Amino acid sequence: MIFPQHDCSGCPIRHRAVCARCDAHELELLEEIKYYRSFEAGQTVVWSGDRMDFVASVVSGIATLTQTMEDGRTQMVGLLLPSDFVGRPGRDGAAYDVVATSDVVMCCFRKKPFEQLMETTPHIAQRLLQMTLDELDAAREWMLVLGRKTAREKIASLLAIIARRDATLNLITPKGKLVFDLPLTREAMADYLGLTLETVSRQISALKRDGVIVLEGKRHVIVPDFTRLLEEAGDDNDGGLLV
Amino acid sequence: MIFPQHDCSGCPIRHRAVCARCDAHELELLEEIKYYRSFEAGQTVVWSGDRMDFVASVVSGIATLTQTMEDGRTQMVGLLLPSDFVGRPGRDGAAYDVVATSDVVMCCFRKKPFEQLMETTPHIAQRLLQMTLDELDAAREWMLVLGRKTAREKIASLLAIIARRDATLNLITPKGKLVFDLPLTREAMADYLGLTLETVSRQISALKRDGVIVLEGKRHVIVPDFTRLLEEAGDDNDGGLLV
DNA sequence: GGAGGCGGTTGATCTGCGTCAAGGCACGCA
DNA sequence: TGCGTGCCTTGACGCAGATCAACCGCCTCC
């Protein structure tokens, strides 16, 4: 691996995208073109097709990428958690609706200067390539979920992804017991999984009944045995799922 | 757009990946590390997880990227047509099974020197980033197909993608009447669409019965009206589908 | 020439999930 | 205090697509 994963917690903000080596000079250049933006829960960050004149890192909160057909059917195609990157260097328009699911803070970089920075400091382009490959892997993993898994497996897969991401962000190894809060409504989960919200609700109840998860309230989830959850998800191993 | 799409037909081979500007010096460097490999129909190019010491452009023929669960359920996550790029610079292992669907010729580059070339000639990394973003778009478009479309819409979507790609390769504008050969078996189509081969067969028959397509034999397809096909696919417009 | 395999089609039946509908809990607001 | 609204759950029912099975045409290889 040429560009190793790297914990950027020492940086002013955790730009997985650009801090591959936390180069002081680059950070300085970035400082000049960065600004913060806040969004309220439910607010749309950009509409698909709109001009998007920035790229950004999610600092806190959760946002989603969704596509919608004319008749209203919608499919979530990405979940943006803190440290994730949004935006398409070299492209003018947004390809998807970006919606804040909770209150969200993003660290934005004006696109033009960011693109110039990419040209002068090649390892940023290389780092972005690595991140885009990660996203591509995640999207393809999700194609398997959407195309071939049952409703129960889909729910278990989603819970596993969120649990793992959550654990990783908090520097816990995802193993054995895990506790986290669901950042999505049943409807949003349904949009991610290609299901209806009723089916999501039923399958969550079923997983609860079968002891795979314990629910406190509607959002607080306890996973007594992460391995069991992975089995329910139909995953052969611990590896690889959504970044 | 910083790195415009570019017809590389003047190059020795059509490397969309690297010939962004057909730079003579770069091509010369590439010459040194390139070699051709042929695969027979049905042959597996690499297994998921295997070490992959090259990256490549598809010169001719069709290959697929697939994922398989332990119980045998498989999902195709990518279709490789001539000029498409395979491989993951900066990664050691293959993430998916790559299988030749027809006889395939690939132009390969040894990975180490290719990665070095990426570091010294930044626009190759940038070009690859653009291509990866394209693939990501295609994967996400496909998530909508898998998650939210009916069997009939799925089939129409696949036919539309293949027809468009085929037309583009032959420098025809995809509009009105189109003619092409299906490069996939019914089973492969089913694996792409998250369906069974029986359903694929039935829906193709239905589209034929309804005059959306005309079939000569089992593989030769005539689309009398491309716009009609797009309507059947549930697409609001002509844009964007799989690269 | 016939046996067997591969790819494809079509029919009959089953079932997982969608659809429609009712109702529950928590919260804010008049 | 009562009424709305958002989010969620559960039940009854129907249907799209899976499953199981039979069969066809074509090719290859004895």
| Cβ-proximal residues to B153 (8 Å cutoff; 6+ apart), any chain | B145, B232, B233, B234
Instruction: Show me where the domains of chain A are located.
Output: 24-142, 151-232
| Least Cα separation, residue B119 to chain A (angstroms) | 7
- The mean-pLDDT minimum among A49-53, A214-218, B26-30, B68-72 falls in B26-30
Tell me: pLDDT of A153 over 50: yes
DSSP three-state, residue B186: helix
Mean pLDDT rounded to a whole number for chain A? 85
As a whole number, mean pLDDT of residues A165-180 equals: 81
Percent of chain A with pLDDT over 90: 58
What pLDDT is stored for residue A12 in this prediction?
35
Say which of B2, B69, B147 has its CB closest to residue A115: B2
pLDDT band at B1 (very low <50, low <70, confident <90, very high): very low
Domain B24-142 has CATH 3.30.1360.20: no
What pLDDT is stored for residue A87 in this prediction?
92
d(CA A242, CA B9): 37
pLDDT band at B9 (very low <50, low <70, confident <90, very high): very low
Tell me: pLDDT of B8 over 60: no
**Topology classification of domain A151-232:** Arc Repressor Mutant, subunit A (1.10.10)
Nucleic strand C within 7 A of Cβ B68: no
Cα nearest neighbour of A236 on chain B: B70
Are the Cβ atoms of A143 and B146 closer than 8 angstroms? yes
Distance B217 CA to C4 C1' (A): 23
What pLDDT is stored for residue B15 in this prediction?
53
Which residues, listed in sequence order, are joined to residue B34 by a DSSP beta bridge?
A: B109
Within 10 angstroms of residue A158's Cβ, the number of other Cβ atoms is: 22
For A91, list phi and psi in degrees, rounded to 5.
-120, 145
| Least Cα separation, residue A73 to chain B (angstroms) | 7
Q: What's the ipTM?
A: 0.89
Give first-to-last CA distance, chain B, whole Å.
16
Nucleic strand C within 7 A of Cβ B27: no
Would the CATH topology of B24-142 be identical to that of B150-232? no
Question: What's the length of chain A?
Answer: 243
Identity of the amino acid at A98: V
**pLDDT higher for A22 or B148?**
B148
| Least Cα separation, residue B49 to chain A (angstroms) | 11
| Cβ-proximal residues to B186 (8 Å cutoff; 6+ apart), any chain | B197, B200, B201, B204
Q: Are A164 and A243 in contact (CB under 8 A)?
A: no
Nucleic strand C within 7 A of Cβ B77: no
As a whole number, mean pLDDT of residues B221-225 equals: 95
Tell me: pLDDT of A35 over 70: yes
Angle between helices A151-169 and A186-193 (to 10 degrees): 110
Within 10 angstroms of residue B50's Cβ, the number of other Cβ atoms is: 14
What pLDDT is stored for residue B237 in this prediction?
59
**Topology classification of domain B150-232:** Arc Repressor Mutant, subunit A (1.10.10)
Identity of the amino acid at A51: R
| Cβ-proximal residues to B15 (8 Å cutoff; 6+ apart), any chain | B8, B30, B57, B83, B107
Q: What kind and span of H or E run contains A44? A: strand A44-46
Are the Cβ atoms of A133 and B92 closer than 8 angstroms? no
A18-23, Cβ contacts within 8 angstroms, sequence gap of 24 or more: A18/A124, A18/A127, A20/A123, A20/A124, A20/A126, A20/A127, A21/A123, A23/A121
Are the Cβ atoms of B90 and A126 closer than 8 angstroms? yes
pLDDT band at A25 (very low <50, low <70, confident <90, very high): low
Cα nearest neighbour of A118 on chain B: B126
Are the Cβ atoms of B119 and A126 closer than 8 angstroms? yes
Q: Are A80 and A86 in contact (CB under 8 A)?
A: yes
- The mean-pLDDT minimum among A98-102, B29-33, B68-72 falls in B29-33
Tell me: pLDDT of A19 over 80: no
Q: Could you tell me how far CA B89 lies from the centroid of its own chain?
A: 18
Q: What kind and span of H or E run contains A189? A: helix A186-193
What pLDDT is stored for residue B7 in this prediction?
40
Which residues, listed in sequence order, are joined to residue A56 by a DSSP beta bridge?
A: A86, A108
Nucleic strand D within 7 A of Cβ A214: no
pLDDT digits (tens, 9 = 90+) for A55-77: 998 888 899 999 999 999 999 99
| Least Cα separation, residue B91 to chain A (angstroms) | 6
What pLDDT is stored for residue B69 in this prediction?
95
Within 10 angstroms of residue A48's Cβ, the number of other Cβ atoms is: 15
Distance A181 CA to C25 C1' (A): 19
Highest mean pLDDT among A100-114, B20-34, B170-184: A100-114
Are the Cβ atoms of A115 and B142 closer than 8 angstroms? no
Cα nearest neighbour of B192 on chain A: A147
Angle between helices B111-120 and B24-33 (to 10 degrees): 160
pLDDT digits (tens, 9 = 90+) for A79-138: 998 888 899 988 889 999 999 999 998 989 899 998 888 888 777 788 888 889 999 999
Percent of chain B with pLDDT over 90: 58
Say which of B129, B141, B236 has its CB closest to residue A129: B129
A67 exposure class (CB count in 10 Å sphere: 0-12, 13-18, 19+): buried
What pLDDT is stored for residue A13 in this prediction?
38
pLDDT digits (tens, 9 = 90+) for A186-217: 999 999 999 999 999 999 999 999 999 999 99
- The mean-pLDDT minimum among A128-137, A151-160, B21-30, B139-148 falls in B21-30
As a whole number, mean pLDDT of residues B218-239 equals: 88
As a whole number, mean pLDDT of residues B178-199 equals: 97
